[in-house]
Structure 1
Amino acid sequence: MVKTKDINDTEGVDLYIKKLAPELAAIIETIRQLILNTDPLIDERIKWNSPSYFYTGDMKPFDPKTYKRDLVVFNLRNDQITLVFPTGAKIKDSGNLPGINTKDGRKIITIKDVADVTVKKEALQHLIKEWIKMTD
């Protein structure tokens, strides 16, 4: 697939991470690299006031309110890291990754620390690859 130009805000994500406490920044950076290294057609930006990752490959036209291009967004509250996959509940094979599937189609996964990222790395990458397979 040909990479399409979308809003890239790597500098915005860099600045966002620099403002965090060092321990939290290390966890976020670890997750960030895991996501970006899963597929070359994933890019990043600040959306919904947090780092957000999206698919840049070709897709059929769709209603932007369906968030088909959006892969995952960070949600940081009270030093808890939650990864929200806006359409992740549709993925049939989530690689046994513990999380919550919501009624509105989101999949929510909590990350505790860098060790937790290491434990969940393969399952997270599997989830991302399965999500990419669903794109049309």
Structure 2
Amino acid sequence: MTRHDPAVDAWFDRYDNPQRDLVMAVRDAVLDADDRVTEAIKWQAPTFMYRGNIASFYPKATKHVSLMFHRGAELPDPAGLLEGEGDVSRVAKFADADDLERKRHALQDVVRAWVAARDAG
């Protein structure tokens, strides 16, 4: 069962965006990756955490859903889900529900890699 934080639910109640349903579906996919992953509102957006900040949504994106992995450059990404060239962050983008389904395992693998790295260190 997916664990939703009431503050994040309240944020979604006020969230007016054409990608709202897809953002909510990505939210559930991230939370379903590992029972220890939690969520909160940080930087005025839903943020996922486990022993640090994993990822936050770009809430103003309207053409697709963007999920920024704060330290994504450190994470293994064999499926090539994460975009970006910087030294620290990476972004996962989802165009629609079908795109999320195609990328669900890769998304959850990246989240699980974060959890495993935090448990190992």
Q: TM-score under structure 1 normalisation?
A: 0.75
Q: Which residue of 2 aligns with 1:20?
A: 15
Q: Aligned pair 1:11/2:6, yes or no?
A: yes
CA shift for structure 1 position 116:
1.4
**For residues 72 and 78 of structure 1, do their structure 2 counterparts lie closer, same or farther at Cα, with a shift above 3 Å needed?**
closer
CA shift for structure 1 position 110:
1.3
> Aligned partner of 2:65: which letter?
I
Please point out which of 71, 89, 92 is paired with 2:73: 89
* CA distance, structure 1, for counterparts of residue 110 and residue 15 of structure 2: 27
Spell out structure 1 runs of 4+ moving beyond 6 A: none
> Aligned partner of 1:10: which letter?
D
Aligned residues: 115
* CA distance, structure 2, for counterparts of residue 100 and residue 33 of structure 1: 21
Please point out which of 25, 28, 33 is paired with 1:33: 28
Q: Which runs of 5 or more structure 1 residues have no equivalent in the other structure?
A: 1-8, 57-68
8 Å contact from structure 1 (residues 18, 25) kept in 2:
no
> Aligned partner of 1:14: which letter?
D
Please point out which of 40, 49, 58 is paired with 1:45: 40
Q: Which residue of 1 aligns with 2:91?
A: 108
> Aligned partner of 1:88: which letter?
G
Highest CA radius of gyration, 1 or 2?
1
* CA distance, structure 1, for counterparts of residue 95 and residue 22 of structure 2: 9
8 Å contact from structure 2 (residues 81, 106) kept in 1:
no
Q: Calculate the aligned-residue CA RMSD, in Å.
A: 1.9
* CA distance, structure 2, for counterparts of residue 40 and residue 104 of structure 1: 29
CA shift for structure 1 position 23:
5.0
